[in-house]
């Protein structure tokens, strides 16, 4: 006899809600990473330069990149929360993760690298699921056109 299991079908409205909630909570996480550094950007940048002083990466490269981390986290996180330019904000965050991953691997901080892989997976899910981004400002703008 055939033992064919009935496939589980996910409802679009549930997927849309799950996507929206993941987008918002992840955006909050990313936004707050940037927010807590705003008042101490100089200290944050200096600490990054010091962390990499024994690595064969020129300090000016670390300095420039460290100066970009806070605004990228802050702006992309906020845009992800509200669902405006969501795809671009996700891509910006994803691109930020690449040099961050490179840096922590150079420092051999494998626990941090593992955490960053989780961020990359969430970015992947959010980017791959952009068609579910219907509870967003992006969708309101699309509906007006």
Q: Using H for helix, E for strand and C for coil, what is the string for 22-67?
A: HHHHHHHHHHHHHHCCHHHHHHHHHHHHHHCCCCCCCHHHHHHHHH
**Over residues 50-68, mean pLDDT:** 93
* 90 confidence band (pLDDT: 50, 70, 90): very high
In a domain, 117, yes or no: yes
In a domain, 8, yes or no: no
d(CA 93, CA 137): 19
In a domain, 26, yes or no: yes
Tell me what pLDDT residue 3 has.
62
In a domain, 125, yes or no: yes
In a domain, 61, yes or no: yes
Residue 6 has pLDDT above 60, yes or no: no
Tell me what pLDDT residue 145 has.
83
Q: Give the residue numbers spanning the domain of 90.
A: 13-144
Question: What is the share, in percent, of the chain residues with pLDDT greater than 90?
Answer: 89
* 7 confidence band (pLDDT: 50, 70, 90): low
Q: How many residues does the chain have?
A: 145
Structural domains in the chain (count): 1
In a domain, 118, yes or no: yes
């Amino acid at each position: 006899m055939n033992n064919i299991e009935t496939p589980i079908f996910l409802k679009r409205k549930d997927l849309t809600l799950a996507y929206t909630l993941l987008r918002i909570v992840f955006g909050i996480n990313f936004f707050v990473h940037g927010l807590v550094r705003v008042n101490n950007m100089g200290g944050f940048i200096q600490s990054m330069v010091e962390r990499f002083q024994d690595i064969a990466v020129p300090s000016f490269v670390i300095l420039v990149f460290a100066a970009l981390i806070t605004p990228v986290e802050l702006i992309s996180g906020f845009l992800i929360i509200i669902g405006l330019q969501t795809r671009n904000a996700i891509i910006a965050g994803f691109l930020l993760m690449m040099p961050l991953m490179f840096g922590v691997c150079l420092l051999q901080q494998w626990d941090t690298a593992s955490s960053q892989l989780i961020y990359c997976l969430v970015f992947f899910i959010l980017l791959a699921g952009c068609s579910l981004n219907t509870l967003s400002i992006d969708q309101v703008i699309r509906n007006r056109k």
